[in-house]
Amino acid sequence: MKQLVNLQRFFLVSHILAFVFGLAGLLIVLPNPELLASLGTLGQKAFGWSMSGGGVINILLGTVAVAIFAYRTLGVWQWLTFMIPAIFLSLGSELLGTSTGFPFGEYGYLSSLGYKIGGLVPFTVPLSWFYMGFTCYLLARCAIDATIKPGSPFGFLRLVLGVIIGALLLTSWDFALDPAMSQSAYPFWHFGQVGSFFGTPYRNFLGWIATGALFMTVAALFWQKTPIVLSRPQLGFLLVVYTSNIAFSAVITVISAGLGIPVGLSVLLGVIPALILCWMASLVNGEVSTEKTSPSSLAFK
């Protein structure tokens, strides 16, 4: 099991480093042709590869890190009963959206996120729905389960509030993500019409809430008898995943797109609530031992 801990660390650190290299490429090298020319032929080829494949690698690293964490902390059943519905339901929603415009509005993906399923949706997109959706849902559930016990008269609220708060945390990421990915110098997707929210249609956020709530509801039904109890280091892992993904989008949105309000909303409605949820869970649970979490779990140390 210690090997899994080391692998989880490796993929999480690599995920964050991929963000750093991506920011350097997008914000430093790409806007300065003379710097790119100084890299030489080999350097230019390497840079071109990183721009075309960096997004794919970054998402894969985040997916593996979260998948290992899910297996370690909750076990195979909880991991797969979240991941499989999240991937297939989000893929269905994305295929519907890119072909009909419902529920996100008219949009299309460019060629930077890997092979497109059905020629429409990059295979990496459902993976990002999984790893960020899982992170948001667990942040919500660990705080709720710490305050509302499964056997209490209001036990059903655990499931309802977990889905609502988890979906809102996920959508808060998109406030910074969409301007960064659609309006930067190197966009990853585009909207058919310029939306009212800094280029993004308002219905796009409704689509995010609906899609996130859909697969989180499926997980909630599978997990309804499973209380989520996490230690502070485990909560820290989730917080790092969530904030690092928002930070990457936020930097691009502010520097490349020149937009501060969407980033402010991501912080106000996403980062701050995530910090509060972690505080609530750790305040009630304290340093949870591995025996209290599950037989197969280990604290993220």
- Give the pLDDT mean for 267-285: 92
pLDDT band at 150 (very low <50, low <70, confident <90, very high): low
- The residues spanned by each domain of the chain are 76-293
Rg of the chain over all Cα atoms, to the nearest angstrom = 19
What is d(CA 70, CA 181) in angstroms, rounded to the nearest whole number? 27
Say if residue 292's pLDDT is above 50. Answer: no
Position 285 scores a pLDDT of 67
Least confident of 46-55, 172-181, 287-296: 287-296
Say if residue 46's pLDDT is above 80. Answer: no
Say if residue 264's pLDDT is above 80. Answer: yes
Q: What pLDDT, in 10s, does the model give residues 74-88?
A: 999 999 999 999 999
Say if CB 80 and CB 300 are below 8 A apart.
no
Write the CA distances from 35 to 27, 54, 255, integer angstroms.
12, 19, 19
Say if residue 301's pLDDT is above 70. Answer: no
What is d(CA 247, CA 207) in angstroms, rounded to the nearest whole number? 22
- Give the pLDDT mean for 2-24: 94
Cβ neighbourhood burial of 75 (10 Å; 0-12, 13-18, 19+): middle
What is d(CA 39, CA 44) in angstroms, rounded to the nearest whole number? 6
- Give the pLDDT mean for 1-9: 92
Position 224 scores a pLDDT of 85
Least confident of 165-174, 184-193, 226-235, 271-280: 184-193
Position 290 scores a pLDDT of 39
Helix (H) or strand (E) holding 109: strand 107-109
DSSP string covering 171-232: HHHHHHHHHHHHHSSS-SEEESS-BTBTBB-HHHHHHHHHHHHHHHHHHHHHTTT------H
Percent of the chain with pLDDT over 70: 93
Position 62 scores a pLDDT of 98
The winner for highest mean pLDDT among 60-64, 142-146, 278-282 is 60-64
Position 116 scores a pLDDT of 97
What is d(CA 39, CA 28) in angstroms, rounded to the nearest whole number? 13
DSSP state of 118: T
What is d(CA 244, CA 183) in angstroms, rounded to the nearest whole number? 20
What is d(CA 140, CA 145) in angstroms, rounded to the nearest whole number? 9
Q: What pLDDT, in 10s, does the model give residues 161-216?
A: 999 999 999 999 999 999 889 887 778 899 998 889 999 999 999 999 999 999 99
- Give the pLDDT mean for 4-8: 95
pLDDT band at 286 (very low <50, low <70, confident <90, very high): low
What is d(CA 280, CA 243) in angstroms, rounded to the nearest whole number? 18
- For the record, the structure tokens of 250 come out as 């936020």
End-to-end CA distance of the chain: 12
